[in-house]
Amino acid sequence: MLTIESLTHLGLGRASDGRSLIPRVLPGEEIDVAQDGTMRIVTPSAARVAAPCRHFKSCGGCAMQHASDDFVAGWKQDIVARALAAHGLHPVLHAIATSPTQSRRRAKFAGRRTKKGALVGFHGRASHTLIDVPDCQLVTPALLATMPALQELTILAASRKGEVDLTVTETALGADVLVGTDKDLTPDLRVVLAALANAHGLSRLVWNDEPVVTINPPDQNFGGTKVTPPPGAFLQATKQGEAALLAAVDAITQGASRIVDLFAGCGTFTLPLAARAEVHAVESETAMLAALDRGWRAGRTLRKVTTEARDLFRRPLEPDEIAKYDAAVIDPPRAGAEAQIDALARSDIKTIVMVSCNPVTFARDAKVLVDAGFAMPWVQVVDQFRWSPHVEIVSPFTRK
Mark the binding-site residues for S-adenosyl-L-methionine, compressed into ranges. Answer: 236, 263, 283, 331
Question: Which positions ≥6 away from 19 have C-beta within 8 Å?
Answer: none
Q: Determine if residue 28 is left, alpha or beta; phi over 0 gives left, psi from -120 to 50 gives alpha, anything else beta.
A: left
Alpha-carbon Rg for the chain in angstroms: 23
State residue 394 phi and psi, 5-degree precision.
-140, 140
Question: Which positions ≥6 away from 132 have C-beta within 8 Å?
Answer: 55, 119, 120, 121
State which amino acid sits at residue 245.
Answer: L
Per the annotation, the verdict on 357 as an active-site residue is: yes
Under 8 Å between Cβ of 307 and 293: yes
State which amino acid sits at residue 174.
Answer: G
Q: How far is CA 364 from CA 11, 176, 382, in A?
A: 22, 36, 19
Question: Which positions ≥6 away from 139 have C-beta within 8 Å?
Answer: 102, 104, 105, 107
State residue 39 phi and psi, 5-degree precision.
-120, 140
3-state secondary structure of 165: strand
Strand partners, 41: 31
Alpha-carbon distance 239 to 193, whole Å? Answer: 29
Annotated catalytic residue, options 62, 136, 266, 357: 357
Active site residues: 357
